[in-house]
Structure 1
Amino acid sequence: MRRGTALREARWALARLESPAGRAPFDAGLVPAYGIFWQGWTNWLRGGVLALQPAAGRDPAEVRRFAEASAAIGAAFDASASPYLAAYPGQAWPVDSTVAVASLRLHDALLPPRFAPTVARWLDGVRQRLDPRTRLLPHRVDLATGAPAEVARATSQSVIQRFLVDVDPAFAREQYLRFRDRYVAAPLGLGPAVREYPDGMTGAGDVDSGPLVLGVSLSATVVALGVAQSQGDAALAGALANYGELVGLPVDTPWTRRYALGALPVGDAFLAWSKTARPWVAAPPDPPPATVRWWWRLPLLSALLLVGLLGWLPDLVRRRGGAGPPAAGALPATEALRVCGAARFRPPGEAARPATPGPLP
């Protein structure tokens, strides 16, 4: 039943991506048509639709469309001097090409293989053009040469790492360990979280990263949860998920859970994508050495305890200083109790008696 629901929803999304409205933001004159951003993600979804069907029962039209689109993508990479194709006129981001190459690997896992030479050539070009500061795939490149134009950033790295595991698991593990070492941090001792820029470097946020809080990108942190899970890094994936439950401001109903008080549905979608992450082509990798220890929660819990104690601070100060003299006209505490008791328990219709000082009965 779940597979049928997933197939229906995936086809619904694919139909909208392939519609005129879905292609409208992209340039039909690029190679491949509409650019590698649209082509890569759309083709990955086409492969996902086929993966949800038994091989003998696949829709022939969907098989043909996936094969044709994969061939167009492969031909564009084979004809390019750079491993990174244009997403928009004159602009290229390695993350988009990574998704597209992963779709070629998915093709070869589902249909008769044909793109191994293309993938090998792409990987060779990538290794020659790594960001010199981090030795990771850069955030943005020169379109003509593929040379790095911007340092590796977490918003693109988190997506690159998610797909690279299906392109080349060994290279992906090497890249993941570099990414984890340079970008996973614990600002103010609270965390873990993912910095937008590598350790030792600062920069501005943008529409992809969102506002940076102490250098941390919330969007990259959410996507990195899926990366850690795909790499078998259960310790980091679990810590990121637990931290998100605290700072994500979840709102529960009997049927759903929404984060950011339900104000950002796209964030909920990314969390669902990350929490269900797994390689589609490669075998699940062995766990890497853990870097998150069992006591990572202690600084966070200590901070929460301190915040809770601050609410009691005024009362503690009053108690420590002692109560001041009673205000003018105020009754002593024992007399106030007697008056309250008399007012509460007098018979119905009996007039209230004036309070006069005296011993309690």
Structure 2
Amino acid sequence: MAAPRLLALLTALAVTALAVLGAVRSHSPSPLERTPEEVAADAAPRLAFLRSALRDGAGADMQALFPEGYFFTHALYGLARADTGTLDARLRDEALREARWALDRLESPEGTAAFPAGAEPAYGVFHAGWSTYLRVRIVELAGGPEAAPEEAGRLAEDTAELRSAFSASLDRGTPYLEAYPGQAWPVDSVVAAAALARDARVRGTDGHDSLLAAWKEAAAAHTDPATGLIPHRADAATGAPAEGARGSSQALLLRFLPDIDPAWAARDRAAFQEAFASPVAPLPGVREHPRGDDSPGDVDSGPLVLGLSASASTVALGDAVVYGDAASAAALTGFAEALGLPVAAGGERRYLGGALPVGDAFLVWSLTAQGTHPDPLPPPDGASPSAHAPPAWWRAPWYALAGLVTAAAWWVAWMAAHPRRSRNPGDGGR
């Protein structure tokens, strides 16, 4: 009987420890509650894990599991590194070195293998947009074109190629470039347009202004009629919405839209929260489909829980930071820390045992969002940025559930320690 009792006791202790740890981690401060230097310091062990994982082949592992898994893991790592160099000047040299390494990986044969080399722009707008945006951030962090002349020269070539592709596309009547032959996801074009807009500020040029004005006009004419937001998928030939707005792409593009037009970004973020914020009070997060649409998840969203997408919710944490939504940022940070089972060891911090580094990359990119957009965008018309944030009591049901599970574990332990004795039918019987 000793072994079952010991096992039950150890199980009860482990359950109690996890419940207490989860409760404590749910109160982890969000980036909006920390100084820029504290945010960068918090990101350091997360980035250390990604650095070692990527050099051990995590990019190829993620590509085997997710579309663009290799690319996303490296790109987000590079962008988060650039953010930390902006947040804390003491990290600038390391941030530049690692961001440049990540960009080299994106442009390596492994980084371009999944994309169409003959597309316009080369390798399609997904690859071109994200890699150009990372190059802009590198030139910006280096101190501008004068401080990084070779990279600035390549940046000029990249942006010229993007500008040419957008011009041709707008002449055909669509603002949305192809990522793959015959396939267009508007979020990719938003990233590319944001790269042009940020390049204009970094290099002090007005060479993109007329194109961006035409692009914004065309994009506004090709929105999802149901929500008024940029659609998830578009007809590659006409730009007409082929699939309405979805949480996974909206959460992403809302990180880049402020570069193009802050007022437009603020309006769309408010509309996005209205249609996609979690309606389930104890579950902070973002729906993959608008409220009332219970369609299943797919490869873009990942598995859905009560309609919520884990990937979209992770990216939405960065949105909350960019748009100054302190309540949502706090809830999404706490939720990720409580459920992500993070483990810190050897100067590294990883989630879910390090099984999905691309998830770690999305999270650290969200947590360092202030490095890209240091000043939170005000909401439209003076509305509260936290109008659709989870309620202050969102943790209460989780406390109750943790208490019930803990109580059940200790009840099992008590029963194992005090087993009922079976009665011998011959003792005292008739």
- For the superposition of Structure 1 and Structure 2, which TM-score range results when normalised by the shorter chain? 0.7 to 0.9
Kindly tell me: are residues 153 and 326 of structure 1, through their superposed partners in 2, closer, same or farther at Cα, counting changes over 3 Å?
Answer: closer
The answer to whether 1:50 aligns with 2:145 is no
Correspondence for 1:311: 409
1:323 Cα deviation after fit: 9.6
Bigger Rg, structure 1 or 2: 1
Shift of 1:122: 1.1
User: By how many angstroms is 1:219 displaced?
Assistant: 0.9
Give the letter aligned to residue 311 of structure 1.
Answer: A
> Contact 1:106–1:280 at 8 Å: present in 2 too?
no
2:246 to 137, 147, 153: 153
Aligned partners of 1:160 and 1:56: how far apart in 2?
26
1:22 to partner: Cα distance: 2.1
Cα distance, 1:14 vs structure 2: 1.2
* Identical aligned residues as a percent: 47
Q: State the 1:150 CA deviation.
A: 0.6
Residue pair 2:322, 2:373 contacting (<8 A) in 1 also: no
Q: 2:222 aligns with which of 129, 148, 166?
A: 129
Structure 1 residue 174 and structure 2 residue 272: aligned? no
- Match of 1:295, as an amino acid? W
Instruction: Tell me the equivalent position of 2:107.
Output: 18
Where does 1:186-225 land on structure 2 (aligned, <5 Å)? 186-187=279-280, 189-225=281-317
Alpha-carbon separation, structure 2, partners of 1:14 and 1:316: 57
Instruction: Give 1:5's aligned residue.
Output: 94
The structure-2 alpha-carbon separation of the partners of 1:302 and 1:20, relative to structure 1 and needing over 3 Å to count, comes to same
Aligned-partner Cα distance in 2 for 1:309–1:315: 10
What CA distance in whole angstroms lies between the structure 1 residues aligned with 2:351 and 2:198? Answer: 32
Paired residue for 1:68?
A: 157
Cα distance 1:314–1:39, how it changes in 2: closer, same or farther (>3 A)? closer
Please give the per-residue CA displacement for 1:167-206, whole angstroms capped at 9, x wherever unaligned: 111000111011112112153x421111111111022222
- Tell me the residue number matched to 2:62: none
Q: Under a length normalisation based on structure 1, what TM-score does the superposition of the two structures give?
A: 0.83
Matches within 5 A, 1:214-293: 214-278=306-370, 280=372, 283-286=375-378, 288-290=384-386, 291-293=389-391
CA distance in 1: counterparts of 2:113 and 2:336, whole angstroms: 35
- Deviation larger for 87-96 or 46-55: 46-55
Q: CA contact under 8 A between 2:115 and 2:127: conserved in structure 1?
A: yes
Query: Bigger CA drift: 75-84 or 85-94?
Result: 75-84
Match of 2:400 among 302, 317, 320: 302
TM-score normalised by L of structure 2: 0.71
Q: What is the RMSD computed on CA atoms of the aligned residues?
A: 2.4
Summarize deviations over 1:18-74 as a string: whole Å, max 9, x none.
233322222222212221111100100110110111237522111111011111111
Q: Which has the higher contact order (CA 8 A, sep 6+)?
A: 2
Q: d(CA) in 2 for partners of 1:289 and 1:77?
A: 33
Q: What are the within-5 Å matches in structure 2 for residues 26-41 of structure 1?
A: 26-41=115-130
- Separation in structure 1 between the aligned mates of residue 413 and residue 91 of structure 2, nearest angstrom: 55
Give the number of equivalent residue pairs. Answer: 325
CA contact (8 A) 1:47 1:66 kept: yes
Aligned to 1:331: none
SS at match of 1:7: helix
Aligned to 2:236: 143
Unaligned runs of 5+ in 1: 329-361
Q: Shift of residue 89 of structure 1?
A: 0.3
CA contact (8 A) 2:247 2:288 kept: yes
**How far apart are residue 156 of structure 1 and its match?**
0.8
Q: Match of 1:257, SS? A: strand
Provide the rounded CA distance (Å) in 2 between the counterparts of 1:283 and 1:325: 69
CA distance in 2, matches of 1:166, 1:183: 22
What is the CA–CA distance in structure 2 between the aligned matches of 1:238 and 1:210, rounded to whole Å? 23
How big is each residue's C-alpha offset from its partner over 1:229-248, in whole Å with a ceiling of 9 and x where there is no partner? Answer: 11111110110010111111
Partners of 2:255 and 2:318 within 8 A in 1: yes
2:161 counterpart SS class: helix
CA gap 1:325/1:224 in 2 versus in 1, 3 angstroms: closer
- Output the CA distance in 2 between the equivalents of 1:312 and 1:95: 50
Q: How does 1:341-356 map onto structure 2 within 5 Å?
A: none
State the AA in 2 paired with 1:289: P
What does residue 352 of structure 1 align with?
none
Change (3 A) 1:65 1:269: same
- Cα distance in 1 for partners of 2:285, 2:393 equals 16
Higher fraction of helix: 2
Confirm or deny: 8 A CA contact 2:248 2:288 kept in the other structure.
yes
Structure 1 window deviating more from structure 2 (286-295 vs 74-83): it is 286-295
- SS of equivalent residue, structure 1 residue 294: coil
SS of the aligned residue for 2:394 comes to: helix
Alignment check: 8 A CA contact 1:35 1:86 kept:
yes
Q: Which amino acid aligns with 1:153?
A: R
Q: Which amino acid in 2 is paired with 1:135?
A: G
